[in-house]
Structure 1
Amino acid sequence: MITTVVVGNPKPASRTRSASVLLAEQLTGVAPDHVIDVIDLGPGLLGWGDAKVAAAVETVRSSSLVVFGSPTFKATYTGLLKLFLDQFPGATGLAGVVAVPFMLGGAAQHALAPDLTLKPVLAELGATCALPGLYLIDAGYADDPALSAYAERWRPVVDALVPADE
């Protein structure tokens, strides 16, 4: 299993990154193979054909499991993450990838944002979105029992969808 974390936070090395990596580790039992902090891709995201962006897209496309993490901005995922997702081709850009929509935010009223805003885009790109999205309050994500409960509940599904030897 090749696991990748994609982080759409405009701040490098953010809490979103730490939380997304933690989620990937708890879902798989090991550290992710790749972590793509989208902000590091720079202005190449604003056009087409940038080699660094293309390499990141290929890393995601060749992954078995991808945690897509974003802070909540204006009740949805960031424009930065959208710029990256726009680099994937049509309805098959994430075919064969099991995607986990994950968001951090400051208030509970946005708890449905991963399922209502991020998951549809991932599904539109062809990802397998069998797991519900996860939303955590950013200030206490590391100690939130919802993270480990989510991982415990959904790890068997990840194992069934993505065999360890894949």
Structure 2
Amino acid sequence: MTTTVVAGNPKPGSRTLDAANRLAESLTGSAPDHIVDVIELGPGLLGWGDAKVKAAVETVASSDLVVFASPTFKATYTGVLKLFLDQFATGDGLRDVTAVPLMLGAGPAHAMAPDLLLKPVLVELGAVCPLPGLYLIDSTYTEDTRISDYTERWRSALPVKGSGS
């Protein structure tokens, strides 16, 4: 199974990226095969045809499992993640991809944001989202048990793809 992490934080190497890597590893038992720290794609996100962006889109679209992560900005996912998701064809850009929406925030007020805001976009792009989204408090996710609790509860709902996965 090919696993990818997509982090849509305006800061490179963010806590969002770290949390997504931790979740992917918890769900699969190994580090993700690919990491797309969207902000590192730079101004190529603002148009069409950029080679780095195209390669990142192809990597994500050919993955079996993708953790899509964003901090909570103005009660939703970031604009930089939206710019990246706009690069995928509606309906089948994420066909055959199992997606897990993950969002981080300062407090519990937006705990439903992964399911209410990020998951519908992923489904619109053709992804399958068999698990509920996960919302983490950005100041405590490294100390609390939310990722391991989520994995224990939901890992069995992930489809098993390919031999040796």
Name the residue aligned to 2:164. Answer: 165
Paired with 1:109 and 1:164, the residues of 2 have a C-alpha distance of 41
Contact 1:65 1:162 in 2 (8 A): no
Counterpart of 1:120 in structure 2: which amino acid? Answer: P
Percent of pairs with identical residues: 67
State the 1:163 CA deviation. Answer: 4.6
Name the residue aligned to 1:106. Answer: 106
Paired with 1:54 and 1:21, the residues of 2 have a C-alpha distance of 22
1:141 aligned to 2:141? yes
Paired with 1:65 and 1:51, the residues of 2 have a C-alpha distance of 23
Name the residue aligned to 1:10. Answer: 10
State the 1:161 CA deviation. Answer: 4.3
1:120 aligned to 2:83? no
Name the residue aligned to 1:66. Answer: 66
Name the residue aligned to 1:153. Answer: 153
Name the residue aligned to 2:55. Answer: 55
Describe the superposition over 1:93-114 as per-residue Cα deviations: whole angstroms up to 9, x where unpaired. Answer: 0000000000000010100000
Structure number with the higher helix fraction is: 1
Q: TM-score, normalised by structure 2?
A: 0.97
Paired with 2:137 and 2:160, the residues of 1 have a C-alpha distance of 28
SS at match of 1:99: strand
Paired with 2:20 and 2:163, the residues of 1 have a C-alpha distance of 20
SS at match of 1:39: helix
State the 1:162 CA deviation. Answer: 3.1
Change (3 A) 1:153 1:163: farther
Name the residue aligned to 2:38. Answer: 38
State the 1:90 CA deviation. Answer: 1.6
Which structure 2 residue ranges, 5 or more long, are not aligned?
Answer: none
State the 1:142 CA deviation. Answer: 1.1
Q: TM-score, normalised by structure 1?
A: 0.97
The residue correspondences of 1:15-30 to structure 2 (distance < 5 A) are 15-30=15-30
State the 1:144 CA deviation. Answer: 1.7
Paired with 1:79 and 1:24, the residues of 2 have a C-alpha distance of 23
Contact 1:98 1:161 in 2 (8 A): no
Contact 1:36 1:56 in 2 (8 A): yes
User: Matched residue pairs, number?
Assistant: 165
Which structure 1 residue ranges, 5 or more long, are not aligned?
Answer: none
Counterpart of 1:104 in structure 2: which amino acid? Answer: L
Paired with 1:75 and 1:154, the residues of 2 have a C-alpha distance of 25
Describe the superposition over 1:86-145 as per-residue Cα deviations: whole angstroms up to 9, x where unpaired. Answer: 000121000000000000000101000000000000000000011100001000111221
